């Protein structure tokens, strides 16, 4: 991925990635664990390979369902990693999008891709722990996240942070899996190549319990089940709104 080349291009990213990645290389990961740099390279490879068909249909669905095509403001993709979803959202909206991730080794690649697609001035990268988001209250119009909430250390705290950062009237769309428009054969192929399985019913129950604990009432659970998808896990998503005036 020629990451060393990208370090020379982005001063702020250089600071974060150098401190995050080099410290992990000085202290080798425990046996069987990947370093932040190795994790980033693995996910970049997946986003360009097995998972590549996922992002455009998902971005299209998010933009259509949340009515974002003409909206301006700030969007955050939490746990965005290589930022592939951010790039697709930039293609379909006028918003400024932030790749917020706990692994800054993704950021040089993300910024290079944003420049390549002509979105260099419409994106940012921010080192962020989901459980302690580095954004002020009422900051973002939209917060999305695909495929990361299940590894957040404290999901209740993380969802509380997302709610805090949303502007009044803001929307969050958090989950894992696919859009309802992803072709079934494509979804089936992706699932066959993956190793992680999970109980969607239990995940839904956990999400509902979390919303109740946080007293968030304006939410919807989405479980895509397009025709012919029996036996294929399309995942689960939760959409919630922060009321205007909160």
What span, in angstroms and rounded, lies between the C-alpha atoms of 54 and 58? 6
141's enclosing H/E stretch is: strand 140-146
Cβ within 8 Å of residue 217, ≥6 positions away: 211
Total residue count of the chain as it appears in this document: 246
Average pLDDT over all residues of the chain: 89
**79-133 pLDDT, tens digit each:** 999 999 999 999 999 999 999 999 999 999 999 999 999 999 999 999 999 999 9
**59-72 pLDDT, tens digit each:** 999 999 999 999 99
Output the pLDDT for position 146.
Answer: 97
What span, in angstroms and rounded, lies between the C-alpha atoms of 121 and 156? 33
Confidence class of residue 32 from pLDDT cuts 50, 70 and 90? low
Q: 97 - beta bridge partners? A: 75, 123
What span, in angstroms and rounded, lies between the C-alpha atoms of 154 and 152? 6
Sequence-ordered alpha helix ranges (H) in the chain: 3-7, 11-26, 36-48, 55-66, 84-92, 107-116, 155-165, 184-193, 200-213
| Mean pLDDT of the 127-142 span | 98
Output the pLDDT for position 246.
Answer: 62
**184-218 pLDDT, tens digit each:** 999 999 999 777 788 999 999 999 999 999 999 98
For the chain, how long is the longest CA-to-CA vector?
Answer: 51
């Amino acid at each position: 991925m020629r990451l060393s080349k990208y370090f020379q291009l982005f001063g702020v990213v250089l600071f974060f990635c150098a401190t995050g990645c080099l410290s992990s290389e000085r202290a080798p990961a425990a046996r069987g664990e990947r370093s932040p740099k190795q994790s980033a390279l693995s996910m970049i490879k997946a986003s360009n390979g097995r998972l590549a068909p996922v992002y455009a249909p998902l971005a299209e669905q998010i933009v259509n369902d949340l009515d974002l095509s003409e909206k301006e403001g700030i969007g955050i993709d939490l746990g965005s990693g290589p930022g592939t979803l951010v790039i697709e959202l930039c293609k379909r909206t006028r918003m400024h999008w932030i790749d917020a991730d706990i692994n800054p080794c993704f950021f040089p690649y993300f910024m290079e891709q944003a420049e390549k697609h002509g979105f260099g001035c419409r994106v940012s990268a921010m080192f962020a722990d989901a459980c302690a988001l580095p954004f002020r209250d009422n900051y973002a119009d939209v917060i999305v996240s695909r495929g990361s909430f299940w590894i957040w250390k404290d999901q209740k705290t993380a969802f509380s942070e997302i709610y805090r950062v949303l502007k009044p009237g803001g929307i969050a769309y958090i989950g894992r899996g696919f859009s309802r428009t992803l072709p079934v054969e494509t979804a089936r192929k992706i699932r066959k190549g993956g190793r992680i399985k999970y109980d969607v019913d239990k995940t839904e129950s956990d999400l509902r319990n979390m919303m109740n604990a946080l007293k968030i009432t304006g939410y919807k659970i989405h479980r895509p089940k397009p025709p012919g998808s029996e036996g294929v896990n399309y995942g689960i998503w939760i959409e919630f709104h922060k009321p205007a005036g909160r």
